Structure 1
Amino acid sequence: MTQLSPNILLRCTILDSSGSIKTISGVFKKSELCSHHGLEPRDLRKIDSRVPNLVPTILARRSGILINILHIRAMVKSDAVLLFDSYSTADTHLHSAFVYNLEYNLRLNTSSLPYEFRALESILASVLEALRSELSWLRIVVDDLLEALEDDIDREKLRMLLQISRKLNGFLSRSRGVKGSVTEVLESDEDMALMYLTDAKLGRPRTKSSDLEELELLLESFEKQVEEVIAEIEQIYANVNNTQEIVELILDSNRNKLLTLDLGTSIMTLGVSAATLFVGLFGMNLTSHLEEHVHAFYIMSVIAYIMAAVVTVGGLRLLARMRRIGLSVDGSHASVDQTHPRKPDSRLVSHARAWWWRENQFRAMQREQLQQGLSMPERRTVSGDPLDPAELNAGPSPHAQPGVAAPRTPPKEPAR
């Protein structure tokens, strides 16, 4: 038999309408479940624990609600809940707590919610508890690891940081998948109307135009709580990414220091080699007429030391200059700009001054016209006339003396 065969066996636990466990890990054929509950084989494929399915889904059908989220694979009906065994679930304590809470909520009949919504609320609460418990564990592990990285950076801690980063990425994907499954149901009024199983059983089925506020509030509350989990895990993931970037910067800085040390050693070796070359010239079996000089040895030794020092100091200064890093593209241009700041263009300055002079002259002419004995209509006409472009274009006279106003043109008589 293949996994898609209708005769495949499934294990499930059934809870009745009163919340009591009717069957514990019962073995049923897929064909029997489909015929008894009015499902298609493709519907059970989503909640089959032996078929890998990483995308959380909430499917609304006329006979029930199929839920596949994290560790829960269930089918909710109007008077029963089928919990399919998840063989991949490692946390048996979490699953046991979920079954206990589900029994308690189904038995507690004080809530105004119908049977299927109480079961759905218990399932979503268990999913949220699983997300929060994993989030708490990841938060503790990340905080300890980041504190350890502040003291010392070694290979083992970097490997743990990589593993934690992968876990955070996977957890973030699962959380977004859970939120997406709920959002998909909220965006479909037809699916939410099908989830009112009790009303459909009583002969008053809901439609997409009916009042769906009860279920909408339930799903929106769960969606907001999952959003809080996603926001917190995104913050933790951002802290891990920032730490990784800082660690990379520190490692790059240490690598640069090692390279600088290597270059410094090479430069000093070059200086000693230059002095050795100079001294080696006198080691040849050739006559230099300095063999019998009294102070020749001391003079040549001083020259050799000076040559070694000059080559070494010059190379180190060149290395220090090359290591100097700035934000500008070209450091030479930046230094020139700082030494000689750029002066404003003289043409722009003269143009601005000419415009300012013309503006002041025009304003003074308007004030003098208003001070004369003009009537109110004439004043409004003079003050309301736009600035003449010819007056704006006319610059100050080159022969004008400072402090002496330019001759004014007589005002035009207003049109009658």
Structure 2
Amino acid sequence: MTSTIPPLKPSLESSPWVQVHRNTLKEIVTVLKFDVHGNATMLRMRRADVLKMTQQAAAALGGSPHAAKQPSDGTPVGPSITGRLPTPSHPHGLSVSDAQMVHMRDLRKLDYAFVESYEPSIVVRKQAILINADPIRSVIMRDCCLMFVPDTNHALVDLLKQNFHDTHGEDDDNQMAFEFRFLANDFERMAPIVNSSLERLASAQMSSGELETLRTLKNAMNEFESQVNGLRRVLMEILDNEVDLHLLYLTQSLLEVYLQDIHNTKTKVALMLHRIQNTESVVMLKMDAVRNYLLTADMLFTLIMVCMTFGMFVTAAFGMNLTSGLEQTQGAFVAVLAITVLCAVVSVYVGIAFFRKRGVII
């Protein structure tokens, strides 16, 4: 059965609010389009064009080779989002007509012009899956995928092209549905970030700037842990939502695999954060030891200066222009000097012994 795609009605753009809205926000978005073979094309599109593309993909079900056949009683049966029909093993197979179309509000959640960072989510729409898990923001359709990127020169572009091409190049006869392959590619995108953080921390050496480095790594790992927890929460919500499971035509065991991968990643992040905290504690202990050493040295020099002040007092006393009767005494100078130095040394020794007994000097 063939069907023509009805032309979409142009949106009303004569409203004053729409004009102000158009002047305030950029309408052009940068999109990286992937086909089922992993070929990437960089496009500059209006958000309205992206919405129109998703609506056309949903409206083209009538001409799809996987379109549902009408049963003998005339009851319409719609295919799932992957183009499959309900089977006896899946008696609750839902028609795609039960799912909502992609709305503009759904696309705004993926647009960098509207939202810098957003809570991770996987939204099921008619013939489309919308994934928002920073840095992945994508719209997955039956035969293509639209990836929102900040700009054409962003580092994410080359990484996505390489990973997507490698994923599809391993097995050209891969029978896994296109949506599932791209979901796997999305989640595997997080692995290099964790590995890079592990290598950076493992190769770090103690230095004067180690505490600042640890602070930077800790902040990055905390942010990544938040993303992992968000993805885990999204998968748990989908597992608890029977409607989304049927619309995605996903089995619970498949999502359990993804959930297990996320749990493993979460465990690695938790261990890494624990190692960072331990290293931070070691650095702080070393800094405390250095600070205590400096305080001890300062106390010793202060004690020596106090003891030398006694000798300076004796010197000042004999330096006055008064007759003491010792000027003509043989050996008086040597005796006074020896007694003064001896008293200073004994005072320093007694002071060090006293503070060491008190535990101030280790």
TM-score by length of 1: 0.60
Counterpart for residue 407 of structure 1: none
Q: Is 1:69 the counterpart of 2:133 in the alignment? A: yes
| TM alignment of 1:128-167, pairs within 5 A | 128-145=187-204, 148-149=205-206, 153-155=207-209, 157-167=210-220
Q: Distance in 2 between matches of 1:240 and 1:14?
A: 38
Q: RMSD in angstroms over aligned alpha carbons?
A: 3.5
Report SS of the residue matched to 2:146. Answer: strand
Point out which structure has higher relative CO (alpha carbons under 8 A, 6+ apart): 2
Q: Distance in 2 between matches of 1:81 and 1:222?
A: 22
Q: Is 1:39 the counterpart of 2:89 in the alignment? A: no
Q: Distance in 2 between matches of 1:101 and 1:216?
A: 27
Counterpart for residue 232 of structure 2: 179
Q: 1:95 aligns with which of 150, 154, 160?
A: 160
Superimposed CA distance per residue, residues 354-378 of structure 1 (whole angstroms, 9 cap, x where no aligned partner):
xxxxxxxxxxxxxxxxxxxxxxxxx
Relative to structure 1, the CA distance from residue 104 to residue 297 in structure 2 (aligned partners, 3 Å threshold; closer, same or farther) is: closer
Residue 106 of structure 1: how far off its partner (Å): 10
- Structure number with larger C-alpha Rg: 1
Report SS of the residue matched to 2:256. Answer: helix
Whether the 8 Å CA contact 1:279–1:304 is kept in 2: the answer is no
Counterpart for residue 260 of structure 2: 224
Counterpart for residue 313 of structure 1: 349
Report SS of the residue matched to 1:227. Answer: helix
Amino acid at match of 1:235: L
Q: Is 1:121 the counterpart of 2:180 in the alignment? A: yes
Q: Distance in 2 between matches of 1:49 and 1:270?
A: 67
**Greater share of residues in helix:** 1
Q: Distance in 2 between matches of 1:142 and 1:93?
A: 25
Report SS of the residue matched to 2:190. Answer: helix
Relative to structure 1, the CA distance from residue 306 to residue 39 in structure 2 (aligned partners, 3 Å threshold; closer, same or farther) is: same
Q: Distance in 2 between matches of 1:23 and 1:254?
A: 57
Report SS of the residue matched to 1:73. Answer: strand
Q: Distance in 2 between matches of 1:60 and 1:142?
A: 39
Residue 223 of structure 1: how far off its partner (Å): 1.3
Counterpart for residue 250 of structure 1: 286
Relative to structure 1, the CA distance from residue 81 to residue 53 in structure 2 (aligned partners, 3 Å threshold; closer, same or farther) is: farther
Q: Which moved more, 1:256-265 or 1:236-245?
A: 236-245
Q: Distance in 1 between matches of 2:333 and 2:122?
A: 96
Residue 34 of structure 1: how far off its partner (Å): 6.4
Whether the 8 Å CA contact 1:105–1:119 is kept in 2: the answer is no
Superimposed CA distance per residue, residues 173-222 of structure 1 (whole angstroms, 9 cap, x where no aligned partner):
222222222222223233323323xxxxxxxxxxxxxxxxx521111111
Amino acid at match of 1:126: N
| TM alignment of 1:193-232, pairs within 5 A | 193-196=246-249, 215-232=251-268
Counterpart for residue 33 of structure 2: 13
Whether the 8 Å CA contact 1:165–1:240 is kept in 2: the answer is yes
Amino acid at match of 2:208: D
Q: Distance in 2 between matches of 1:20 and 1:259?
A: 64
Q: For structure 2, which runs of at least 5 residues remain unmatched after alignment?
A: 1-18, 59-100
Whether the 8 Å CA contact 1:175–1:230 is kept in 2: the answer is yes
Whether the 8 Å CA contact 2:311–2:340 is kept in 1: the answer is yes
